[in-house]
Amino acid sequence: MYVWPVRCMLGRFVFALNQFCRERYAMEYGVSDYWIYEFAKIWNCSQERSNQIVHEFFNSQHFTDGIPIIPGAPEALTRLSADQYELVVVTSRQHVIQDETLDWLDRHYPGLFQEVYFGNHFALEGTSRKKSDICKTIGAKVLIDDNPSYAQECAAAGINVLLYDWEGAYPWSKLPATGVRNRELITVVRNWEEVQSELALLAPRLRSVDS
């Protein structure tokens, strides 16, 4: 089983969020400003205020209709699905946008994912669930994610990770130089061609472990 998030691997979430922030609050940010994937630190505001802005974004057309797909993702996932890879989504997204997320996936990636699991992180209500816990529960073999915090969390739990740094242009997708547990389980990839290549290398070994 191979796991994807939604945020910045399948769609350009930060791009659309910045468009909303510019229109609603005259906040001028580009993708290159996000050295860490914690919006409160980027926007220099409280976590509560950051959560509020993001949830306002969820209620806007920038969220429902304004998130472009990542180039090459649909084609690569279609090939992986045809090659009998079991693909699921594990996202940190909140339960409050579950329907909108499923609709977006159905429009842009129809029939490619067998299941979608929500972590409900940074939610205004409800409990959250760690990505590593979800991955272990469902028996995931590989997580492909752009967030190094989730990459480290899952690697520490013994899960192989492809850390997605799109064309080297995601400032937040960088591992720290030291202190990474099971670093050998994390491989940096920069486009969907590299994702496919690394999965092809990992798949025989992972399948032999299961047999």
Q: CA 186, CA 155: separation in Å to the nearest integer?
A: 7
Arithmetic mean of pLDDT over the chain: 92
Same domain membership, residue 143 and residue 93: yes
Same domain membership, residue 114 and residue 46: no
For 66-114, how does the pLDDT look when each residue is reduced to its tens digit (9 = 90+)? 999 999 999 999 999 999 899 999 998 989 899 999 999 999 999 999 9
Tell me: pLDDT of 208 over 80.
no
Same domain membership, residue 137 and residue 37: no
Contact 199/84 with Cβ under 8 angstroms?
Answer: no
Q: If we measure between CA atoms, which residue out of 103, 125, 105, 102 comes closest to residue 51?
A: 125
Same domain membership, residue 166 and residue 86: yes
Same domain membership, residue 141 and residue 95: yes
Same domain membership, residue 41 and residue 6: no
Of 64, 81, 97, the residue that ends a domain is 64
Of 22, 48, 64, the residue that ends a domain is 64
Contact 105/64 with Cβ under 8 angstroms?
Answer: no
3-state secondary structure of 143: strand
Same domain membership, residue 103 and residue 192: yes
Q: CA 146, CA 21: separation in Å to the nearest integer?
A: 22
Stretch 2-17: mean pLDDT, rounded?
Answer: 82
User: Where do the DSSP E strands lie in 47-97?
Assistant: 87-91
Same domain membership, residue 48 and residue 74: no
Same domain membership, residue 148 and residue 138: yes
Same domain membership, residue 78 and residue 17: no
pLDDT of residue 206: 79
Give the domain CATH number at 178. Answer: 3.40.50.1000
> What percent of the chain is predicted at pLDDT more than 70?
94
For 150-201, how does the pLDDT look when each residue is reduced to its tens digit (9 = 90+)? 999 999 999 999 999 999 999 999 999 999 999 999 999 999 999 999 999 9
Same domain membership, residue 85 and residue 50: no
In terms of residue numbers, what domain contains 41? 13-64
Is the overall model pTM greater than 0.75, yes or no? yes
Domain count, the chain: 2
Same domain membership, residue 205 and residue 136: yes
pLDDT of residue 5: 63
